[in-house]
Amino acid sequence: METLSAVLVEPFVAIAEAPMFFFEVLIGGLLSGVMYALVALGFVLIFKASGVFNFAQGAMVLFAALFFVGFIDLGWPIWLSLIVTILVMILLALAIERVVLRPLVNQDPIILFMATIGITFFLDGFGQTLWGSDVRRLDIGIPEDPLIIAGLYINQFDIYAAVICGLLVLGLALFFQYTPTGRALRAVADDHQAAMSIGIPLNVIWAIVWTVAGIVGLVAGIMWGAKLGVQFNLALIALKALPVLILGGFTSVPGAIVGGLIIGAGEKVAEVFWGEVLGGAIEDWFAYMLAMVFLLFRPQGLFGEKIIERV
Amino acid sequence: MIYRETGQFKTSYGADQAIFPIAQDRIGMLIIMALAFVAIPLTASDYWLTTILLPLVIYGLAALGLNILTGYAGQLSLGTGGFMACGAFAAYKLSTAFPELHVLVVFALSGLITAAVGMLFGLPSLRIKGFYLAVATLAAQFFLLWLFNKVPWFTNYSASGVISAPPLAIWGETYVTGFEATPRAKYLFALSIVTVMALAAKNMTRLKIGRAWRAIRDMDIAAEIMGIRPLATKLSAFAVSSFYCGVAGALWAFAYTGAVEALAFDINVSFRILFMIIIGGLGSILGSFLGAAFIVLLPIFLNNALLAMGMAEAVALASHLEFMIMGALIIFFLIVEPHGLARLWQIGKEKLRKWPFPY
């Protein structure tokens, strides 16, 4: 009885007693959800265009961040490091398309999934062989002191992150909607064979998609790196992006954003108000449980395409 | 010339349905068994037994469990580590709460407990498919590990959270777990369990239940229309697979590391076992063991190769290089033979049948 009340009643009482604190937690959660969404976005882009479940997105985040911070530590200005890192990501995308994807065309999805795990290992090893495995501080000049808006304490950094993420999504939306390449990308995402039949080169499209995912990964890597320092742990946030993905649906860009927000907010609120009762550190699994329960009711995710099965 | 079934006639249904229909296969299997059970324990050093052969055998069992679920029944799972932890902790609780239980009973019961847990986490598989299911099984992985870490009841309220496995004897004073056990006894114990369970798995996949699993894997809706009950089939696959993983986890904690701790079964273990079955071959008993051998031996081999090249000073660098080479090799193997080592073996056997006169 006491445990039940501790789980079912007291957290709500705590919320009702201090609504401002609850909103602070909620907003903090939403803003950190934006960061998850950034990683999930890279997954969605690749899954939409090539049907590959790209487990290597987290490794790409780490890889890009390592190169960026490595160039900055060499004394290069930020803009130059950014451009060179983008070039590196383009090279990486070309190499992945040529070396991994092309020979594995038409294989089962699980084989391609395994191949991306292979890429994950390779990138983790390669990045750290080149740049070492120490934690590197990344300072890109975003202030981190809290800001008071309408009586709520909010971390300024998180707001910048949200704005950057919003700009990135806006840019991607414009790119997909209004450029010929974007149109080709959407065509491939819709139907590979139809796209090929009207002369869209799949190989080129895949290289472009991996490049875009790499650049999204770079942005995510810079933001996470500025927050936590560039270190191996960055590769692990990919795992946090997975529940975001299944919540939002593998094929939906808005889904990635909304899923990120739900997971971020749910996780923080659960940890702060329920964590103590359940033994703490429930952030580890809460997102997965939330996603799994959610999937029971909507197997294709929030915005995913309806799964139609034919025999 | 040697490997050829000419002149071997099957005169009964029993002979027709044998696991190894060709006499050469039977002899080969006997030789392998004799090597594994007699020659290796007699000749191998303790170092070899404890650091290479024991994990190889136990990983093989876990890979077999995952292969039943993923390779035969087509349900992608990333929760293997969680289920292994479940088996390890179930065995620990059982052996400390009921010290008079025989070690085999403890292992069987812990397998059954894991099977029940596996069925619980397999329930969503009825509605969730493919990669969505894989992510859902991650919930099992993280939740189970968190549970064993946070709830002190599982560790018998030990302060450090790391507990040593109690010694259990197979008969008399012959200990097979804990610190008193010799590496040889542990190896033979693990090997015997694995052999029996591998034989059971081979037969299960040839029975009605195995055919139902494969029908569900190939297309679940078509299988359902044919009269295979998807819920029962999927849950039975989860149960059997979790049983295997649970026993493997119990063996891992009791016979290999000698300590029961949740951290030994983290997400990397799940991935490693998934590698094993994909490199070894999905839907193949032999493949599970080939894959386990590959993944266990590769890092050791790479390590020694790097040592030989004089890179011993830079430990961090060597481990990064190891990661890189591992990743590259996985990609290479997938490109060369996406169906795994078991398929390579199959192709080799076909070639061997016609050798040396292919026409």
pLDDT in tens, B84-111: 999 999 999 998 888 888 888 999 999 9
A106 to chain B: closest CA residue: B338
Whether A284 has its CB under 8 Å from any CB of chain B: the answer is yes
pLDDT at B310 over 70: no
Cα separations in angstroms, A249 against A242, B9, B103, B332: 10, 56, 46, 31
Largest CA distance in chain B: 70
pLDDT classification of A95: cutoffs 50, 70, 90: very high
pLDDT of A188 above 60: yes
pLDDT of residue A280: 67
Does the pLDDT of residue A146 top 80, yes or no? no
pLDDT at B355 over 70: yes
- Is residue A307 classed exposed, middle or buried when 0-12, 13-18 and 19+ CB atoms within 10 A define those classes? exposed
* Closest CA–CA distance from residue B56 to any residue of chain A (Å): 21
Handedness of CA A5, A7, A9, A15 (dihedral sign): positive
Q: How far apart are CA A147 and CA A166, in angstroms?
A: 20
User: How many CB atoms are located within 10 Å of the residue A133 CB?
Assistant: 16
CB contact under 8 A, B143 and A124: no
Which of B70, B127, B317 is closest, CB to CB, to A296? B127
pLDDT at res. A58: 86
pLDDT score at B82: 93
- Phi, then psi, of A155 in degrees rounded to 5: -70, 125
pLDDT at B132: 78
Distance from CA of A292 to the nearest CA of B (A): 5
Residue A261 has pLDDT above 80, yes or no: yes
Residue from A47, A285, A290, A308 whose CB has the most chain B CBs within 10 Å, to mutate: A285
pLDDT, mean over chain B: 86
- Residues in A 181-210 with any Cβ partner in B closer than 8 A: none
Q: Which residue of A has its CA nearest to B322?
A: A125
Q: Do B136 and A129 make contact, defined as CB atoms within 8 angstroms?
A: no
Banded model confidence at residue A45, pLDDT cuts 50, 70, 90: confident
Specify the residue for token string 């079912």.
A8
Q: Determine the pLDDT at residue A7.
A: 66
Position A291 scores a pLDDT of 81
pLDDT at A281 over 90: no
The domain ranges of chain A are: 2-297
pLDDT band (50, 70, 90) for residue B214: very high
Would you state the pLDDT for residue B126?
81
Q: Specify whether the CB–CB gap between B240 and B147 falls below 8 A.
A: no
- pLDDT value, residue B249: 94
Structure tokens at A67: 């190169």
Q: What is the pTM of this model?
A: 0.87
Q: Which chain B residue lies closest to A104 (C-alpha atoms)?
A: B335
Cα A3 from Cα B127, distance rounded (Å): 32
pLDDT at residue B103, as a whole number: 87
Question: Does B146 sit within 8 Å of A109, measured CB to CB?
Answer: no
Average pLDDT over residues B329-349: 85
Bridge partners for A147 per DSSP: A154
Q: Is residue A295 within 8 angstroms of chain B, CB to CB? A: yes
Give Dmax (Cα) for chain A.
67
Instruction: Say if residues A210 and A97 touch (Cβ distance below 8 Å).
Output: yes
Q: Do B331 and A133 touch (CB under 8 A)?
A: no
Q: Of B106, B138, B339, B30, which Cα lies nearest the Cα of A287?
A: B138
Mean pLDDT of B297-304: 82
B122, closest residue in chain A (CA to CA):
A292
Q: Which residues contact B143 (CB under 8 A, 6 or more apart)?
A: A285, A288, A289, B82
Out of B131, B316, B330, the one facing A133 most closely (by C-beta) is B316
Contact A227, A157 (CB under 8 A): yes
Closest partner residue to A299 (CB to CB) among B70, B132, B338 is B132
Q: Do A100 and A115 form a contact (C-beta atoms < 8 A)? A: yes
- Is the pLDDT at A150 greater than 70? The verdict is no
Higher-scoring residue by pLDDT: A12, B65: B65
pLDDT bucket at B313, cuts 50 / 70 / 90 = low
Task: Report the pLDDT value the prediction gives residue A2, as an integer from 0 to 100.
Answer: 62
Return all residues near B358 (Cβ < 8 A) that are at least 6 apart. none
Peptide bond into B41 cis (omega under 30): no
Is the pLDDT score of B195 beyond 90? yes
Q: What is the pLDDT of residue B311?
A: 61
Three-state secondary structure of chain B:
CCCCCCCCCCCCHHHHCCCCCCHHHHHHHHHHHHHHHHHHHHHCCHHHHHHHHHHHHHHHHHHHHHHHHHHHCCCCCCCHHHHHHHHHHHHHHHHHHCCCCCHHHHHHHHHHHHHHHHHHHHHHHHCCCHHHHHHHHHHHHHHHHHHHHHCHHHHCCCCCCCEECCCCEEECCEECCCCCCCHHHHHHHHHHHHHHHHHHHHHHHHCHHHHHHHHHHHCHHHHHHCCCCHHHHHHHHHHHHHHHHHHHHHHHHHHHHCEECHHHHCHHHHHHHHHHHHHHCCCCHHHHHHHHHHHHHHHHHHHHHHHHCCCCCCHHHHHHHHHHHHHHHHHHHHHHCCCHHHHHHHHHHHHHHHCCCCC
At B192, is the pLDDT very low, low, confident or very high (cuts 50, 70, 90)? very high
Question: Would the CB atoms of A125 and B282 count as touching at under 8 Å?
Answer: no
pLDDT of residue B86: 94
Among B79, B56, B9, B42, CA closest to B294: B56
C-alpha to C-alpha distance for B127 and A294, rounded to whole angstroms: 11
Q: Which residues of A touch B130 (CB under 8 A)?
A: 109
| Residue A109, pLDDT score | 80
Per cent of chain A over pLDDT 90 is 5
Q: Residue B131 to residues A57, A160, B137, B271: CA-CA distances in angstroms? A: 15, 33, 10, 14
Asked if A249 is an interface residue toward chain B (Cβ–Cβ < 8 A), one would say no
Comparing CB atoms, the residue among A100, A107, A285 nearest residue B146 is A285
In angstroms, the separation between the Cα of residue B143 and the nearest Cα of chain A is: 5
A117 to B271: CB separation less than 8 angstroms, yes or no: yes
Chain A's closest residue to B76, CA to CA, is A110
Residue A153 has pLDDT above 80, yes or no: no
Q: What was the pLDDT predicted at A16?
A: 72
**Pick from A203, A153, A185: nearest CA to A45:** A185
Please give the Cα distance from B165 to B172 (Å, whole number). 19
Instruction: Report CA-CA distances (Å) from A2 to A5, A9, A70, A93, A195.
Output: 5, 10, 54, 56, 61
- Tell me the per-residue pLDDT of B141-159, one tens digit each, with 9 for 90 and over: 888 988 888 888 887 777 6
Q: Which of B267, B326, B331 sits opposite A115 (nearest CB)?
A: B331
A308 interfacial to chain B (CB closer than 8 Å): no
Nearest to A121 among B143, B225, B326 (CB): B326
Band (pLDDT 50/70/90 cuts) for residue A155 is: confident
User: Of the candidates B225, B323, B329, which has its C-beta nearest A311's C-beta?
Assistant: B225
Q: Which CATH class is domain A2-297?
A: mainly alpha
pLDDT for B314: 64
Judge whether residue B312 has pLDDT over 60: no
Tell me, what amino acid is at A107? Q
More confident residue, A310 or B264: B264
**How do residues A162-185 score in pLDDT, each as one tens digit?**
888 888 888 888 888 888 888 888
**Better pLDDT: A88 or B268:** A88
The answer to whether B150 contacts A243, with C-beta atoms less than 8 Å apart, is no
Segment B226-239 shows an average pLDDT of 92
Provide the ipTM: 0.81
What are A200-240's pLDDT values in tens digits?
888 888 888 899 999 988 988 888 888 777 777 777 777 77
